[in-house]
Structure 1
């Protein structure tokens, strides 16, 4: 909270990084230019390995496969700013689809493979994709069945003849994996064959028209509303972060970076940190489509991984895997000494990652950070200092007045990686008159300009690296028979950061089953949004929160106490 002391220019809680022009290590600031630059520099090196799919591509292969997708998209009518949905796990085709879209001049729409049918319906409606490239089966989900269930015409129309009133811009669909004969959905080989007559010179010409200020990608994030919000990011913002992550990790062409990751590239953090840093340094991506701890350890061993990218709860699962003691992980060099993975008997490391950082999907990840191996006394428990081009301000969350250094308030950010805007929301309703984005996060700046993130001012739950809107869960919870009141909160968790917990008051006389409620939620929500715990209360219990309008902070405390008692 503010001290109430008027600030001066010297004491104001505003900190700016160096000018962007002074940032070292930046290359071309468009996705086509980034791809051209890294593939030209590292042509014969291995860009990616996907053992599950039997794929191993050199940088030259990545360039050629991306061009192949671009020619097929061009044959489907994709042009400047056309939106192409990519619904796949981490596999070679994901990279070819996203870079291919950029080469064709389009906008890649990154869709989560955790999406349920209702969630995917929402994403397709608001994104307006004209082409959808998707993976047939992901875990227990058959996206072919999901899509034909959403639009029955897909099961009867011929390829390229889709005319859906639900998705009026959608014209072409192509599937990686088992084909769906007799439907409007093309097999991946048939889709690529469309581009055989496309002159490669057209793709070269289209790629050269792409400007750093053009929209490059559309990612989704749960914000303060119940539905995921579409976030448009420019080529400049995306590629700055790709080049930047390599610099922050200290990676260079001679480091032989071999990055394992199982986290979806449809998360902006994994796109920038794993994919961006690795390719910018001429390294190799070792892809795992879905996280499995035992298989991940085997991959790290067999592929001589040097740089593992995982979330805290995955690290805990790696430690608990049956082959934890038997695998040789001595190749791992870029492992933070304080992470669980560093305790493995074959690993010796004194390296520290640039994990002391703050960012949002709206800024395509980090806005403040310290580089790898920064001394602890310099970090001082903070979330870093503003990166080049960025400005951080701490303001009173009610009045918007700038606070003093050391005062706690809302974190405002602006800079070159800030989004172009939310889908359907005018930019002047998103940014203030000074161009700042109000993050909804609380924190403060110290005298050295270091940012200290102190948690969410809004109720968003951050679990395992993902954001969950409690309103979205509450809407589905309200549809379950017998639920009188349903409120979702985040409770502190050792490895997840926060655990999703639902607090339920049944109607009088109703006896509800927690497992049945979770099954109901699981059918309509991505798995990470489904509460790990369902707690039952009476209305008298909730009166402890102080008013009929339940305060999330008080309910979170009540839930934490119940869980501790149990």
Structure 2
């Protein structure tokens, strides 16, 4: 059986060739143009064997989208990289994935250091000119085809549902990267399910500032482009008033965000000051959002549907959603499973009683193939056909799911997951640091921010400015601790393990 995102995309692109697909920096790519660009990238990668891993170091842009779909169309595995990362992490991920090719923006700030790090280990390097405006598609295709007499047409290859199509790295990656391997079937199943419950149609215009190299952003991209909707790509939300004005002027109908996105918009703006009458729905995922914030959204946007969603990268993106009609009665819930997805709350291998807390387990067509090159870790998470999420929760008497916490120690900073161990490893290299432990603390805007507690060597100065500068040099900006404290000792259990909850 053959199925892939490219099949769904190709079908809608043929139906709506002149419809706008992507808007970016004042330019619009139609579905026909995007389909043409996807075919050109597929042709550029034609020499690669099926299943070859292709890294993508490209920020949100039509060029990223064409490259991403082009990689999958070529029968390869797209490996999107976090454009905010440092060369040391990027090169480690490229090496770990065993990439046969890298597609990159040569103006990326880490590109020089990255090319030096990977050397000649990657057989094929494709650099892109991220030209905005109407000529962007022509320039993209011309660079890929060179002096060829004709451009290659997008060709639909026979691809098995279980064949790998994408690999997403779930965190900043320490010495052991964790790549979630997703199949064609995973991507298609999740995209179709999301498109169905959001009722996405070609009349929708969705403003997206979520990074495509993470599962939430990727799911927004996939579900809209197989539905014929238009995506307006936003670089960031640093100026929320401009974002809201754009939503007003463009008649945006859909807007996805994480809790920090909505905290920023609500904290700096009065949404009712803008004409958002065409805004049909909002979606929220990427961590829990305070109930007061949800209520404020509903008050300021009474005619807009709010979808609260839950999932994780290991489930492609989405496991459950709370439909708007249940928001008032089930405030605090993440809803019911997607069609085709089963969810159980378990403790010690058994399903717990209603209202009892346990680990959330799931199975369905969206559950990953496994972790790349991590058979032991995969077997720990995928057991008896079920995904063990590491999240704690409970269900009520009507089957609605509630999240009660995380069994793992990842820190959720806005849309990002940060590994405490990675930050600790960097801090441990600073002169005078004897021990360090990192945890997440509550943050009104970001959900969580990073706190580091440091034990200094005897006689070492408490150089806070130097420590912050050291972190900025070696870590992406969102991984730099917001709070740094010094202590005589770290709280530990009798077995010597650090008690992170006491650090907060």
Task: Report deviation, 1:470.
Answer: 0.6
User: What do residues 264-302 of structure 1 show as CA deviations (whole Å, max 9, x unaligned)?
Assistant: 111111111x22332243221111234432543343244
2:345 corresponds in structure 1 to 394
Q: 1:343 to 1:550 in 2, by over 3 A?
A: closer
Contact 1:248/1:370 (8 A) holds in 2: no
Is 1:353 aligned with 2:342? no
Task: Report deviation, 1:361.
Answer: 0.3
Contact 2:182/2:368 (8 A) holds in 1: yes
2:8 corresponds in structure 1 to 34
Is 1:247 aligned with 2:196? yes
Superposition CA RMSD, Å: 3.1
Q: 1:322 to 1:419 in 2, by over 3 A?
A: closer
Is 1:383 aligned with 2:350? no
Is 1:83 aligned with 2:53? yes
Q: 1:437 to 1:339 in 2, by over 3 A?
A: same
**Does 1 or 2 have the higher relative contact order (CA < 8 Å, sep 6+)?**
1
- TM (normalized to structure 1)? 0.78
Gaps of 5+ in 1: 1-27, 154-163, 179-186, 557-566
For 2:172 and 2:297, locate their aligned partners in 1 and report how far apart those are by CA, in whole Å: 37
Contact 1:490/1:499 (8 A) holds in 2: yes
Q: 1:331 to 1:401 in 2, by over 3 A?
A: closer
Deviates more, 1:382-391 or 1:422-431: 422-431
User: What do residues 213-237 of structure 1 show as CA deviations (whole Å, max 9, x unaligned)?
Assistant: 2111111102997644111101111
1:368 alignment partner, one of 288, 305, 320: 320
2:114 alignment partner, one of 147, 156, 178: 147
User: What do residues 429-448 of structure 1 show as CA deviations (whole Å, max 9, x unaligned)?
Assistant: 24454112222111123332
Gaps of 5+ in 2: 132-138, 285-290
Is 1:477 aligned with 2:427? yes
For 1:477 and 1:244, locate their aligned partners in 2 and report how far apart those are by CA, in whole Å: 42
Counterpart mapping for 1:424-503 below 5 A = 424-426=373-375, 429-503=379-453
Q: 1:488 to 1:266 in 2, by over 3 A?
A: same
1:551 corresponds in structure 2 to 499
SS in 2 for 1:480: coil
Contact 1:354/1:373 (8 A) holds in 2: no
For 1:346 and 1:301, locate their aligned partners in 2 and report how far apart those are by CA, in whole Å: 18
Q: Give the paired residue count.
A: 488
Task: Report deviation, 1:312.
Answer: 2.5
Deviates more, 1:100-109 or 1:289-298: 289-298
Counterpart mapping for 1:218-237 below 5 A = 218-222=167-171, 227-237=176-186
For 1:58 and 1:190, locate their aligned partners in 2 and report how far apart those are by CA, in whole Å: 17
Q: 1:325 to 1:410 in 2, by over 3 A?
A: closer
User: What do residues 520-544 of structure 1 show as CA deviations (whole Å, max 9, x unaligned)?
Assistant: 12222222222111122222xx458
2:21 corresponds in structure 1 to 47
SS in 1 for 2:311: strand
User: What do residues 177-215 of structure 1 show as CA deviations (whole Å, max 9, x unaligned)?
Assistant: 49xxxxxxxx966741259368846x52xx331122211
Task: Report deviation, 1:423.
Answer: 0.9
Q: 1:546 to 1:515 in 2, by over 3 A?
A: farther
SS in 2 for 1:93: helix
For 1:533 and 1:326, locate their aligned partners in 2 and report how far apart those are by CA, in whole Å: 35
Q: 1:250 to 1:349 in 2, by over 3 A?
A: farther
Counterpart mapping for 1:186-225 below 5 A = 191-194=143-146, 196=148, 200=152, 204=155, 207-222=156-171
For 2:467 and 2:226, locate their aligned partners in 1 and report how far apart those are by CA, in whole Å: 45
For 2:168 and 2:278, locate their aligned partners in 1 and report how far apart those are by CA, in whole Å: 33
1:305 alignment partner, one of 228, 234, 252: 252
2:214 corresponds in structure 1 to 267
For 2:116 and 2:470, locate their aligned partners in 1 and report how far apart those are by CA, in whole Å: 19
1:60 corresponds in structure 2 to 32
For 1:130 and 1:400, locate their aligned partners in 2 and report how far apart those are by CA, in whole Å: 41
Contact 1:134/1:176 (8 A) holds in 2: no
- TM (normalized to structure 2)? 0.87
| Higher Rg of the two aligned structures | 1
Contact 1:293/1:314 (8 A) holds in 2: no
Q: 1:345 to 1:444 in 2, by over 3 A?
A: closer
